[in-house]
Amino acid sequence: MKAVKYLLLGLIAAALLAGCGKQPTQDIDAAKAAVDTVAVDAEKFAPEDAKVIKDSLQAAMDEVKTQDGKTFKNYDKAKDMLTKVKSDADALKTAIPQKKEAAKNNAISAQDAAKTAAEEAKKLLAKAPKGKGSKADIEAMKADIKGVEESLGEVQKLIEGENYGEAINKANAAKEKADSITEQVKQAREKAGKK
């Protein structure tokens, strides 16, 4: 009877010791360090991936906090989550050069498309029908083309500064404006042709 009693007490003590796990500080530090190492470049060249990793780290930290509040702590799930965060951050760090190159190529493509659209709009504008009431419109479109060309200079500076996301957005906006001018000139030519 005494042996059973001691066995039960031993099992209870073992369960308590196992249940009172220590916070996985080394895993937390390793995961945070891996995320911090890749954060700046990831946000610049792979913002979606950076968000996923930051969200995963936050979820792991929330799991740690949940376990901190329990009497019988079990950090196994948090450790697994932290290990995955570190692994994902390390993998992203390896992938950053390719993502950076892809972002650069996308920015250059957007810039080229905007330049082509601006040149087309400029050529069409030179052939725009000139008539009563159209002079002011043509002058306004010339000013718009000048603005597009100026923003293409800004796009080049953004590319040189490795701000590829901003460069793409600015190039796309310039292309939209140039396309809009082209469309306006085409409509004016159609109207003039009908008269």
49 token code pair = 């991936």
Per-residue confidence (pLDDT) for residue 132, from 0 to 100: 60
Hey, how many other C-beta atoms are within 10 angstroms of the C-beta on 98?
Answer: 11
The pLDDT, as a whole number, for residue 89 is 95
Percent helix / strand / coil, the chain, rounded to 5: 85, 0, 10
The tokens 């060309």 sit on which residue? 149
- What is the per-residue pLDDT for 21? 74
Is pTM beyond 0.75 here? no
SS3 73: strand
Contacts of 159 (CB under 8 A, 6+ apart): 104, 107, 108, 111, 167
| Interior/surface letters 113-123, b for 16+ CB within 10 angstroms, e for the rest | bbbebbeebbe
Confidence at residue 151, expressed as pLDDT on a 0 to 100 scale: 93
Give Cβ neighbours of residue 149 (< 8 Å, ≥ 6 apart).
118
In contact, 125 and 185? CB cutoff 8 Å: yes
| CA–CA distance, 74 with 71 (Å, rounded to integer) | 10
User: Which of 136, 22, 147, 129 minimizes the C-alpha distance to 74?
Assistant: 22
Query: What is the structure's pLDDT at 131?
Result: 66
Count the neighbouring beta carbons within 10 Å of the beta carbon of residue 30. 17
Nearest CA to 92 out of 57, 52, 49, 55 is that of 49
Kindly give, in sequence order, each residue whose CB lies less than 8 Å from that of residue 163, ignoring residues fewer than 6 positions away. Answer: 44
Q: Could you list the pLDDT tens digit for every one of the 195 residues in the chain? A: 666 566 555 656 555 555 457 899 999 999 999 999 999 899 888 889 999 999 999 999 999 999 999 988 999 999 999 999 999 999 999 999 999 999 999 999 999 999 999 999 889 888 877 766 667 777 888 888 899 999 999 999 999 999 998 999 999 999 999 999 899 888 877 776 655
